[in-house]
Structures are given as structure tokens and as C-alpha cells.
Structure 1
């Protein structure tokens, strides 16, 4: 790191989705710690900036307006040029591309920064792309968790992280509003289960019947169940379809919470149950026990992070198996152990529906959840979050193609 001189302003570029931005927090903090006198700015897509709100490692958040893509070619060009001019005027000394696409490479170049770090594109993107960087890192191996991918680039240039926690914040006002919402729906304390059955990508969603079954079981075990969804109408409708199949009545917050209020809800919850989604990452960042259903996505890439169990991890994924039932700290991923899982595709044969998820049996999911409930009771009675270290090797969800978990 001694090769980097006079670093006063750093731009970290992460033009991805909500969960990607949140999982970049340890890398952003590592930069702030390595250059303590520097101003650290994060550039993220509009709609993801709340993941970095109030974070002391970030001095400023710039957002790229994704709605520019809906403009005419001329309008889009004008908008992007205006944006690049704003970024250039910031006078950055270093840019760090944690995105990997073509746009961040151009943005880094146009800043005029002396140091421009990024992963070696190795043939991807436009010809000559690697020439836009001054420092190229070797790409991470497949199976590296998203948190460690971002840190892996920095570590190649002597920027290391002492703290691997994925931190997220809410305001007292956010907390108060969510507490009021819960109170109006009859919750005044006790065990709260946050259930998020949807994703913007429906190929990540489980069956409505399965979700309803597990939520009824949680209610029967003494939990107040609060159900959330994203703001899109199709997600709200899917959540309503799940609720309509329930025998018990949950607190329906579908489409009603902002991202920062989702943080507040997580802080008040005893457990999170749901699918691979941004709220899953938010819950795990808040220290809530997470039990998540995975389909085509790899848990080794995107499994819920456990801040307390992350110490000592280097480049190995906390979810080392290709698929199946896995545990990292207090968090659990349930996934079928089929040969094709994870495929990384948007459903089977382009159907936008994942057979590997549909095959997971509700009774099995509830049995996994049941086994974790004593840990929740213990954590509530002691006033602390219970974790049991990094464990793998529990009975997996493997089955023939006709069966499933």
C-alpha cells in the first residue's frame, strides 16, 4: 500500500443491486481504515443508497440514476455526460471498481484519478478495457462469497480489513414508525418472526402453500409473524396470495416499508425466514438469525453473512458446499442437493420458475426451523444473540428429481 501517495479523496464504485451494496460495507470500511485522513465516496445505483446511510465509513454517497436508460439516446447521452462532469469535479485521487462492468471503468477514467483499481477483465467487456485501470487484480475463484470478493481486490494491493462486519443503520424515527405500525397490529412485545416470501425475481420464490404452512407453524410456536414484500405490485400480490392460504393471521406489511424501515423491523425481530433477497441480507446484518431458502443462486456467493462468526475468514466461503443444507454461525441455508444446483439461471429452461425450490417440502423446512428455536429462546432469555459457530454437514436436502427436500 506504500505505493499509494497523497490519497485525499477515494471513489468506490458499486453499481449493482441492494444486497451487493450492503455486502460491500467491509471493503468500504477497509478503505476508510487504510486511508484515515481521506474522504471516502461511494457511487451506487439509485435505490440502493439507503444501505450506506449513516455509515461512518462513508463520507458521501453519489447515485447513478438508472432511469436514464428510459430516455432517448440523446437524452441519455446528455444525462450521462452531466453526471460524469459532476464526478470529475470531485477531484478523486483513487477509484476502486467493485462492479466489474464497462460503465465503472469509464467513470474511473473520466475522474482523472491517479490510481484506478479494478479486477482484470480477462477478455470480458470491450477491447482494451484493462487499459483504463492503473492497477489490475486477479479475479477471485468461483465460489468466493460476495463479501470476500470485494475484499479480495483490495488485499492484492495491501488494503486489508480488520473488521468483516456488514453494518447497517436506521434512525430513531424509522424505529419509532415501525414500532407504531406493529403496535397498531397488536404486537406489544415477545417473539417476532419476520417473513419475506418474495424477491423481485420470482424464480427465487418458494411455493405459496409452503410459505403459508411454515408461517402458520411459526404462529403456533408463539411467534407474531410480520410479513413483508418489495414495493412492486406483483410482489405485493404474491404476498397476498400466500397470506390467503394461511390459517392464522399475520401482520401484513407487504409493500409498506422503506428499506431503512426494513432495517428497523429486523432489529426488532427474533428470526428471519424467507428467500434469497435484500431483506435477508439486511436481517443478517442486524444480527438476526436467518433461515433462508435458496434455489438457482449459490450460497457460497450470496449466503447470509454472520458478523459474529466472520472473524478469521480469509478467502474461503463460509458456505463451502455446492448446495444442500449449510450453516454459517447462526444462519442456515436450505437448498436442494441436486446435481444442477446451483445453476445460476432464471428458472428451469427459461420458465422463470425453479423446480429445485418447488421440490423443497414444507415439513422439512419446519423441522429445520424447529431445531433452531431453542437457540432463539436462549438468546432472548439471556438478552444476547446466540451463535454456534461455523457448522456444515447437517442432513442435506438431497433427493431424486421426483422428490426434493
Structure 2
């Protein structure tokens, strides 16, 4: 096997969690060149990874083009994939578009998973289909399962995230006491936002926890994506915090909408703790080895909880089984903790209760509950 294409046309966190599957392919075919096809805007999470020989980026902007131009672009892209001469494709997306791309590659081996949804004849896009995962499986294990059924495996389930040195220097300058004139007893990276509003906690609750952290002596770095909705939400939280503090403002560092993906990783790496919602930065923080305390609403921790690299090592590691075995509730995997209600309706995966974009199960979590878990962790520093 000389050339392998992995397809993951999803979001940033989804893309990051394919790393163990990539490693399994590289371990099995060490001389193969591995290309990864991802959506534009997600590629940075894989940059610098030595397992990957090539990143192919799909511009989803073609969707807004007139029909004829869009068709020409789509066909041109498929021809490019075919001309690369891949021997194997591995579809870790599951969507119709990825299935068509797999087939168009003309690779002799086209791996995918059995699908319940999709166009008629979709299964014929592949030469090899793995069975659907049984029971609750973390996304890392689901990805690995697509190739594992064909003898492609690895005992190293680390989710790696590579940070350029200039991005480490970026955060070091901000946190050096001589430069910023701040002193602190811990650094906490707080990421309170998600592109999905139903994953976000109440602004007042998040502000209350941040105020407590500042009063305790921590430096708090608050971040958000550049998306205007996320920046506005983070700014609202910052305003609530500012209205309640008088002496600790120098330890509140506002980087909302101001960082790259790699800089987010550098911030988490330099921090003693990550606190935030179910989001891509949560997965990045876990990947760089920072303890994560994450707030979960209607999502399933069993498939999206923060992944602990240390626990995922070797055949006997917890990551080889089911790291978040319960349906819901507070759960721990290695150094990470998920805070979630244990209601029967969780996980529903809905876009808020009755389509409201607001998740009652998330809003029901009290700041004091989060503070208790954070305090327990900080005392161990």
C-alpha cells in the first residue's frame, strides 16, 4: 500500500479525533504516504503531524456558486482526487459526499462503515464495510473501528496536537509576570462558547465561576472563536465579570476571537486547567495534556468526552474499552471530568429543548457544583 486517503468532512473537534486511526494505518503500512481530506477551516488542527504526508482541503464555499459553476468545481475536485492514484481510501465521515469521493478515487481498497442513511446504492461505493459499533463507543474508538476490522490497529491511541514554537512564545509573553505585571497561583483557560448555542452555559453562571477563580488568585484566559456570535457571548460574560470585580482585573486576559487554532492549543498547554463547554478547544486542551473540566448538556460524553492520552495507551488502557461508561451524569476519564445532569432524557442530541437553542439540562447545573470540582483539582497543584 503506497498511497492512502483518509476522508473526514466534519468539524474541527471531529477531525482531531481521527489521529489514532491515522496512526493505525501508518503502523500497519509504514512506507505508505497518508493524505487527509478535510473541510476548509479544519486543516490547522492536523498541521505539523508527522503521520500525515498531505492535507487536501475541500472548499465548501462552492455551495453558494451558481449551479453550473458549482458542478464544474465539484467535478474538477473529483478528478484531482482520482489523478492522485490512491491505493486505499478510508471514509471516516459517513456522509454521501465522502462516499462519492471514495468511489471516484478508483482506489482498489475503499473502506467505510455500514450506514443506516444515505442514497440508494451507497454501500457499493466501498469495497470493504465495517460493522456499526456495538453499544456506546467514544468517537476515537468509532474511527479506529472502521479500520480495525481489517487487521489495521494500534495500541497507541494518543490524540496529538502539534504547536509551533512561535505560538508558544505568543502565550509566554502574555503570561510572563515581568511583562504583564500580574501574579497568579494558577492559570485557567476558560472557553465558554460553542458554535452551537445549545451547548453553551448561562452567561451569569459562567461569569460567577470566573469571578471565583479570580478571587482565588488564578489568572483566567478567556477565549472564543472569531465567529461574531461567539465573541458577543464571550463579551457579555466579560462584562458581567468586570461589574463584579475591583482588584483582580489584571489577571483576566481577554483573547476572545483573537487566536488561531494553534494558539488555542498553546494557551491550554500553558494552563493548569481548562474549563469550558463541549467544543473543539475542549478536545485540543485534552490533546495537549491539560486537565479538562467540561460542561455537557444534551451531548453524549460516551462519544464526545475529553480524551485522556495517558489512559489510551496499551492494550490494558481504559481508552481501549469504554472511557465514559455511563449514559450521563458526572464522569471522569483520567485527568478529565465531565459535569452533566443524570436526567433520563440525556443524551438527546437535540438543538435545545423543543428547538429553543437552550438546554435545560445544562442551565440546571449550578456554579457551586463546578466550583467544587475545580477547587478539588486546583488544590492538587
TM-score, with normalisation over the residues of structure 1? Answer: 0.89
In structure 2, relative to structure 1, the CA distance for the partners of 1:373 and 1:146 (3 Å cut) is: same
Matched, 1:268 2:270: yes
Selected match of 2:151 from 152, 158, 161: 158
Work out the CA distance in 2 between the residues paired with 1:46 and 1:142. 32
Query: What is the SS of the residue equivalent to 1:253?
Result: strand
Query: What is the SS of the residue equivalent to 2:312?
Result: coil
Q: Which runs of 5+ in 1 are unaligned?
A: 1-6, 378-405
Matched, 1:337 2:339: no
In structure 2, relative to structure 1, the CA distance for the partners of 1:185 and 1:234 (3 Å cut) is: farther
In structure 2, relative to structure 1, the CA distance for the partners of 1:58 and 1:190 (3 Å cut) is: farther
- Write the deviation string for residues 308-362 of structure 1: whole angstroms up to 9, x where unpaired: 1123246632011111110000100000111111110110000011011111111
- Write the deviation string for residues 128-159 of structure 1: whole angstroms up to 9, x where unpaired: 11011000100113421000000111110000
Selected match of 1:136 from 122, 126, 129: 129
Query: What is the SS of the residue equivalent to 2:224?
Result: coil
> Which residue in 2 is equivalent to 1:86?
80
- Write the deviation string for residues 51-87 of structure 1: whole angstroms up to 9, x where unpaired: 1111011011101111111112112111111111111
Work out the CA distance in 2 between the residues paired with 1:187 and 1:89. 56
Work out the CA distance in 2 between the residues paired with 1:97 and 1:125. 14
> Which residue in 1 is equivalent to 2:101?
107
Work out the CA distance in 1 between the residues paired with 2:95 and 2:9. 8
Asked if structure 2 preserves the Cα contact closer than 8 Å seen for 1:185 and 1:251, the reply is no
Matched, 1:222 2:214: no
Query: What is the SS of the residue equivalent to 1:40?
Result: strand
Selected match of 1:251 from 247, 250, 253: 253
In structure 2, relative to structure 1, the CA distance for the partners of 1:331 and 1:120 (3 Å cut) is: same
Asked if structure 2 preserves the Cα contact closer than 8 Å seen for 1:152 and 1:315, the reply is no
Work out the CA distance in 2 between the residues paired with 1:51 and 1:187. 31
Asked if structure 1 preserves the Cα contact closer than 8 Å seen for 2:92 and 2:112, the reply is yes
Asked if structure 1 preserves the Cα contact closer than 8 Å seen for 2:312 and 2:319, the reply is no
Q: Which runs of 5+ in 2 are unaligned?
A: none
Matches within 5 A, 1:6-405: 7-122=1-116, 124-183=117-176, 185-187=180-182, 191-246=186-241, 247-248=244-245, 249=249, 250-311=252-313, 312-313=317-318, 316-375=321-380, 377=381
Asked if structure 1 preserves the Cα contact closer than 8 Å seen for 2:312 and 2:320, the reply is no
Query: What is the SS of the residue equivalent to 1:42?
Result: strand
Query: What is the SS of the residue equivalent to 2:133?
Result: coil
Work out the CA distance in 1 between the residues paired with 2:155 and 2:49. 17
Q: Give how far 1:216 is off.
A: 1.2
* Worse overlay, 297-306 or 215-224: 215-224
Q: What CA RMSD, in Å, does the superposition of the two structures yield over aligned residues?
A: 1.4
* Worse overlay, 269-278 or 311-320: 311-320
Q: Give how far 1:187 is off.
A: 4.9
In structure 2, relative to structure 1, the CA distance for the partners of 1:86 and 1:226 (3 Å cut) is: same
> Which residue in 2 is equivalent to 1:403?
none
Asked if structure 2 preserves the Cα contact closer than 8 Å seen for 1:182 and 1:188, the reply is no
TM-score, with normalisation over the residues of structure 2? Answer: 0.94
Q: Give how far 1:218 is off.
A: 1.3
Work out the CA distance in 1 between the residues paired with 2:93 and 2:56. 15
Query: What is the SS of the residue equivalent to 2:256?
Result: coil
Asked if structure 1 preserves the Cα contact closer than 8 Å seen for 2:157 and 2:319, the reply is no
Asked if structure 2 preserves the Cα contact closer than 8 Å seen for 1:263 and 1:282, the reply is yes
